[in-house]
Structure 1
Amino acid sequence: MKIVIVDDDKLVCVALKTILEAEGDISVIGTGHNGKEAIELYNSLKPDILLIDIRMDTMTGLEAAEQILSSDKNGKILFLTTFLDDEYIVKALKLGAKGYIIKQNFESIVPALRAVNMGQSVFGEDIVSKLPSLINKNSSPDFSSFGVTEKELDIISLVAEGLSNKEIAGKLYLSEGTVRNSISIILEKLSLRDRTQLAVFYYKNK
């Protein structure tokens, strides 16, 4: 797994490189310290994943990610930051970032990289728990282009709010088994792996 690290704190870059390369199967092929360097490194080195901070001089991580993903829609970008700002989280989702994790949860960095490399999206619990409050619930999203029915959208929205199958069944007057089967069908239809990815999909496209 080839990784490029971009963080304005050079000590953080050195520490992350040491931690990641101790894993054996991870190679840090480049490091940078601002968004412009991130774009240059990404384009020249073609890493499997770009691990990048958000607040940096010259150009932010979000600005860099927007440019990178506009030209490479399959690019894998994982944000690693100390900030839980609502606007950053929403922007990262809208851009199509594969993950957003907090530096303080350093033990989650390696598992997050492995998950992203396997095609999963990784948003920590502290991020997912904030999502419902970030979205304007008065809006009426149109998911028909994804082949999602109105009934399925009702289930998806409740999954995104963190409700259990039992709670969803109670709200929609369905059996718990029907809800469970419906979620399995929805995940297969959208090529998603689990409820967390389903919640991220909902908020990204809402």
Structure 2
Amino acid sequence: MMQGATAIRVVIIDDDPFVQTSLKTILSAQDDIEVLATGGSGSEAIRLFDELGPDVLLMDIQMPETDGLSAARGILGEHADARIVFLTTFSDDEYIVEALRMGVRGYLIKQEVANIAPAVRSVMAGQSVLGGEVVGRVDTLMRGDVGGGAGARTEDRGEKGAAARRSAALTRGLSEREYDIIELIAQGYDNKEVAANLFISEGTVRNHVSAILQKLDLKNRTQLAVYFYRDLSKADA
């Protein structure tokens, strides 16, 4: 750690002792991260957060006593600025939707071990993080297709939600074209695919993306996807 730098203080919550130990070993090896404590349940997460006030809470979802979602809801109810990242083997659709709507800072899959430390740093810097497996699936989920049955009602909800997001984007200073680009990026399209869908050049897409990131004060495409599904989706809540 550089002289004068402050370590990012982390608490790890997982009901598997092996996972606790592994994550602690990985993160403790980083010069700029300090693991304050580990726990094995949602109730421990609440207690440790209140006692230690960590910078970042890494937490599993499915656990005994109080699960991760319930614990996060309780913590965020008392500490709205809490930085909570779900780290789980369950990329379950309903979990993803609830986590994003709740306002947690990240949702990572445990197998993406190499991304954990960088994610902690990103979250500490005010960014949101989504695992690669999650990003490509968020579009369908946030349209209201999960847990709600098919048919006209789901389609109507999706159309109304899309209209609300577009309206919210326009009132926040984005153009129609910029909104279209954000929507496609949020669905996992790369620049070439965005260009093909909108019948513009890749260079034009790159210029638009740079302008959008600057306008929204965001750093990358992952943050853009989170902005689309979490911040703009509040318009149709």
SS of equivalent residue, structure 1 residue 50: strand
SS of equivalent residue, structure 1 residue 91: helix
Alignment of 1:93-112 (within 5 A): 93-112=100-119
- Aligned pairs, how many? 206
> Matches of 2:176 and 2:77 in 1, distance apart?
31
Matched, 1:156 2:182: yes
CA contact (8 A) 1:78 1:98 kept: yes
Uncovered stretches (5+) of structure 1, i.e. residues with no partner? none
Q: TM-score, normalised by structure 1?
A: 0.89
Matched, 1:115 2:122: yes
Matched, 1:193 2:219: yes
> Matches of 1:93 and 1:111 in 2, distance apart?
20
CA contact (8 A) 1:2 1:29 kept: yes
Query: Hey, what does 1:46 align to over in structure 2?
Result: 53
- CA positional deviation for 1:145: 4.7
SS of equivalent residue, structure 1 residue 66: helix
RMSD value over aligned CA atoms? 2.0
Q: Which runs of 4+ in 1 moved over 6 A?
A: none
Alignment CA distance shift 1:24-1:165 (3 Å) = closer
Letter in 2 for 1:196: T
Alignment CA distance shift 1:105-1:169 (3 Å) = closer
SS of equivalent residue, structure 2 residue 87: strand
Query: Hey, what does 2:207 align to over in structure 1?
Result: 181
Query: Hey, what does 1:132 align to over in structure 2?
Result: 139
Alignment CA distance shift 1:113-1:155 (3 Å) = same
Question: Which residue among 4, 12, 25 is the counterpart of 2:32?
Answer: 25
Matched, 1:37 2:44: yes
SS of equivalent residue, structure 1 residue 193: coil
Letter in 1 for 2:189: L
Letter in 2 for 1:42: F
> Matches of 2:221 and 2:109 in 1, distance apart?
21
Query: Hey, what does 2:193 align to over in structure 1?
Result: 167
CA contact (8 A) 2:137 2:187 kept: no
> Matches of 1:123 and 1:89 in 2, distance apart?
10
CA contact (8 A) 1:146 1:190 kept: no
- CA positional deviation for 1:11: 3.0
- CA positional deviation for 1:203: 1.5
- CA positional deviation for 1:123: 1.0
Query: Hey, what does 1:8 align to over in structure 2?
Result: 15
SS of equivalent residue, structure 2 residue 73: helix
Uncovered stretches (5+) of structure 2, i.e. residues with no partner? 1-7, 144-157
Alignment CA distance shift 1:167-1:18 (3 Å) = closer
SS of equivalent residue, structure 2 residue 228: helix
